[in-house]
Amino acid sequence: MKKTDLAKSDAKKIMNQMARGPAFGSGAAPAVDKREQRERDRALGLVPFAVKLNGDLVARLQVLAKERGVDMNQLVDELIRKGLGE
């Protein structure tokens, strides 16, 4: 087989794989563009704020968020506001 024939064969394989779509994760929701997400957060006045917490505390927060049906950001916002007396 010639070098050019080999290259054509490889190209056909790649084109067939691209035509079929992704091999996994096809049922997943479309990924949100990080830049768009940052712009939305900025428009809402949100600022990233990283902290390190004890693992047990984080587990309790996750359970509480699940019970209330809110995401972790909303729960932590609520708890901090209550703690500051707002």
Q: So what's the pLDDT on residue 86?
A: 79
DSSP E strands: which ranges in the chain?
A: none
Does the pTM surpass 0.75? The reply is no
Position 8 scores a pLDDT of 82
Q: For position 57, what pLDDT does the model report?
A: 95
Sequence letter at residue 18? M
DSSP string, 49-80: ------HHHHHHHHHHHHHHT--HHHHHHHHH
CATH fold, domain 47-86, is Arc Repressor Mutant (1.10.1220)
Angle between helices 55-68 and 72-84 (to 10 degrees): 100
pLDDT under 70 in the chain at which residues?
A: 1, 21-31
pLDDT at site 29: 62
